Structure 1
Amino acid sequence: MGVKLNGFDDLNKRLKAMSNKANELNGTHQIELGKLLNESFMQANTDFDSLDDMFEKSPFDIQTSDDFEAIPKGQLDEFISNHSKFSSWNTMLETASKKWFAKQLGF
């Protein structure tokens, strides 16, 4: 007498798809800041509706990526700490990156 388990076929397909996606994501990638810090992430974790909203309401004059790069790290970290759940810009980016990768893998 045998038992048929259909759920394992579906699980196996999902695991193979995740494995394939993980292989695609392996290595170094450049991801747009707006994709990492999307509206959903920003609304759930900061005082802002979007990344653009944060830039507009910040005390920094950010018109270009060079402007952003010129912000002293300590000042940016203080701003992030005061207006988000994170202690620093890097901590916010790391958390957003983990969430982005998890989403790409289907979690």
Structure 2
Amino acid sequence: MSVQIEGFEELADQLDGLSDQDIPMEELFTDGFMATNTDFESISEFFEKSRWTVESEEDFQKIDENEFDRYVDKHTGFNSWEAMLSAAAREWLMREINL
């Protein structure tokens, strides 16, 4: 017995097109995501209220990962930056493929 799934190839094509995109933080961490999952209304506020100045990718890369995870744990519903990033990426992907 087998089942034919209509539209699977179209979905695979959509996913292929999304795989190598650079996504702006404001698009990934929408205001809705931030308001629901953090103590902040936006990703900008999240960084502005932190002890780090993040104006570029280089600034972000300089942050100590353990210290940043503690900040994320204290001010969000996630225990690490990786967990927060994964959740935001899942939501972004669902929006992009209209699920």
Cα distance, 1:50 vs. partner?
0.2
1:42-73 per-residue CA deviation (whole Å, 9 max, x = no partner) reads: 00000000010011100112232211110000
**Structure-1-length-normalised TM-score:** 0.77
Percent identical across equivalent pairs? 29
In the superposition, relative to structure 1, how do residues 31 and 21 fare at CA in structure 2: closer, same or farther (>3 Å)?
farther
Deviation at 1:32, TM superposition (A): 1.4
Q: How far 1:19 moved relative to its partner?
A: 4.8
Alignment pair present for 1:53 and 2:45: yes
| Equivalent in 14, 18, 27 of residue 24 of structure 1 | 14
Stretches of structure 1 lacking an aligned partner (at least 5 in a row):
1-11
* Structure 2: gaps of 5 or more residues: none
Superposition TM-score, scaled by structure 2 size: 0.83
Q: Superposition RMSD on alpha carbons, in Å? A: 1.8
Counting only pairs closer than 5 Å after superposition, residues 6-45 of structure 1 correspond to structure 2 as 16=7, 19-26=9-16, 27-45=19-37
Distance 1:63 1:32 in 2: 13
* Residue in 2 that maps onto 1:93: 85
Q: Which one has a bigger Cα radius of gyration? A: 1
